[in-house]
Structure formats: structure tokens, C-alpha cells
Amino acid sequence: MTETVDKKITTGSYETYLNRAGEGNEEKVLFLHGSGPGATAWSNWQFALPALGEKYDCLAPDLIGYGQSQHPETPPQDASAWLETWMGQIESLLDEVGLEKVHVVGNSMGGALALHLMNRHPERVGKAVLMGTMGIPFPITDELDALWGFYDDPSPERMAEVIGWFVYDPDVVGGDLQAIADDRYGAATREEISHSFASMFPITRQGSARQGSVDALALEDAAIEKIEQETLLVHGRDDVIIPLQTSLDLLQKLQRPQLHVFGRCRHWIMIEYAAAFNELLADFLHGYKS
């Protein structure tokens, strides 16, 4: 396993906290994390970075408004404005570390960001892996609505319930989801993190589900259909947060897709099936030269 190092670097107007493993390896992989309360790059990719860092130069930033990256004093006020902040951060990160082209791996909301990166800067992306991805319109699930609404009524008990939705079988992650929930609750309730998150996914003016945030992160069909990168879609069959149908729809719209579905698996494929997921990524990325 390769050691992971971390540091802060300047990306545009913000400081970005970056986890990196395998620096110096020829092929570069950018990992983009999801949107849950208390999420960080390390919480998503703690098993992938040391494994993939054996062969690849793996970079995993905390998105602005998450983890140890900078939190705006006056944060953007909806998902569409945050999307522009994150895209600017990603573009500046690649420029700052001198990477002209990378593979990109995105989890959930990170998958949506990967799709937008391929749409805006196709020349900068080699292959893409989209896991339990957003970025395409779908009716918001009750679980995603509640996940984004965590701060409406935050509590340790609520966090434990939310974390329970991410896995199919708690025994796969050691049977102790409570420890994970406690850690995420501690991160989520840091003042700067809760301040940022509260503005990302507001309810509609009518007080209904956060469907508008799903739609704001989605690409139009015409843009998706122009994406030519080889793309591996990975989804848990039993995902209750982002439905499998999103990957099935992308399978029909992307130019060069593959689909791998894990049965008895929900949203945390990279944790529930860590070894198989890492092997799948390595096999898919193998042979590409930037």
C-alpha cells in the first residue's frame, strides 16, 4: 500500500486540502467525493488511494465547503452556484499542480462534477469512472432529500440513521456503523461545515423536496450525448440514495459506456466492496497513456 500525504494548496480564491498518493507516477487520477454531511475526500477514498497509488498518481481534494478546504464567509446560496465554485476549484487544482490531463473518478455528486468537467474540458479527461452518480435528472429519493436535509434537525441519532442508508450489510464494514456515524457527526457539526452545507441544498420555496438541487447538478441530454470518453458506470443494485436507474439512463446516453452493478450493495461501493472496486478501477484504467 502506498502512503497518502496531504497538504493545502491555493486554488483560485480558495485554499484546497488535498490528499495525494503515488505522486510521480505517470498516470494521474482525480477522485471527487460525494455530498453527504461530514463528507471528505478521505472518508470516501480512504481504501482507494493507498491501493491505486501503487500505480497511479491519485489526487483527492476536499471540495470547497467540505472538510479542511476553505469555507466561504459568504457561501453560495444554492446548488447551481456551488457547482460553479467547485468547477472553478477543480480547474484551478489541475492548473496549480501542472496536470494537463487526468482520469477522473466521481462518487455521487462527485460523478456529476466529473460529467461537467468532461463537458467543459474534454481535452483534460482521459477515462472516467462514475459511481452511484448524479448528473442526470431523476426524481429525488426520500433518502437523498433527508440526507441533504440533515441540518434541519441534526443529532447523533439522525446521523446514525443516515449512515445506515449507505450500506447493505453493516457486517461488511465491521458491523460498527456507529463509530463511522460518530466520526461523521463530529465533522458535520463543525461550525464552518454546517454553515457551508446549509446553503448548498435548500428546500424549494414551497417547502417541498430538494428536487431543484438534483436538477441544478444535472447536464442536459445533448451535452451528455456528446461525451466521448470511455466511461465506467458503477452502481449498487440496492442503492436507496441514488437509484440504479441513473446509471441505466447514462448507459443509453453516453458514447462509450460500460456498466458494472454490485448486488447486495447500496451507495458505498468503495467501502462495502473495497477490494473488488479497486481492482475494477485498475483494470479499467490499465493501458491508457496520457
Q: Does the active-site annotation cover 121?
A: no
- 28-62 confidence digits (pLDDT tens): 999 999 999 999 999 999 999 999 999 999 999 99
| Mean pLDDT for all residues in the chain | 94
Instruction: Note the pLDDT of residue 290.
Output: 40
Q: Domain 4-285 belongs to what architecture?
A: 3-Layer(aba) Sandwich (3.40)
Q: Does the active-site annotation cover 182?
A: no
Q: How far apart are CA 27 and CA 218, in angstroms?
A: 28
- 66-123 confidence digits (pLDDT tens): 999 999 999 999 999 999 999 999 999 999 999 999 999 999 999 999 999 999 999 9
DSSP class of residue 33 equals -
Domain boundaries, the chain: 4-285
Q: Which spans in the chain are helix H?
A: 41-45, 48-52, 79-96, 109-120, 142-148, 156-164, 177-188, 191-197, 211-216, 221-224, 245-253, 269-272, 274-285
Instruction: Note the pLDDT of residue 273.
Output: 95
Q: Which of 116, 145, 239, 247 is catalytic?
A: 239
Q: Which of 33, 71, 235, 267 is catalytic?
A: 267
Q: Are 57 and 23 in contact (CB under 8 A)?
A: yes
Q: Which of 35, 43, 69, 108 is catalytic?
A: 108
Q: Does the active-site annotation cover 169?
A: no
Report CA 264 to chain centroid distance, whole Å: 21
Q: In 3-state terms, what secondary structure has residue 272?
A: helix
- 122-179 confidence digits (pLDDT tens): 999 999 999 999 999 999 999 999 999 999 899 999 999 999 999 999 888 776 788 8
Instruction: Note the pLDDT of residue 206.
Output: 59
Q: How far apart are CA 177 and CA 166, in angstroms?
A: 10
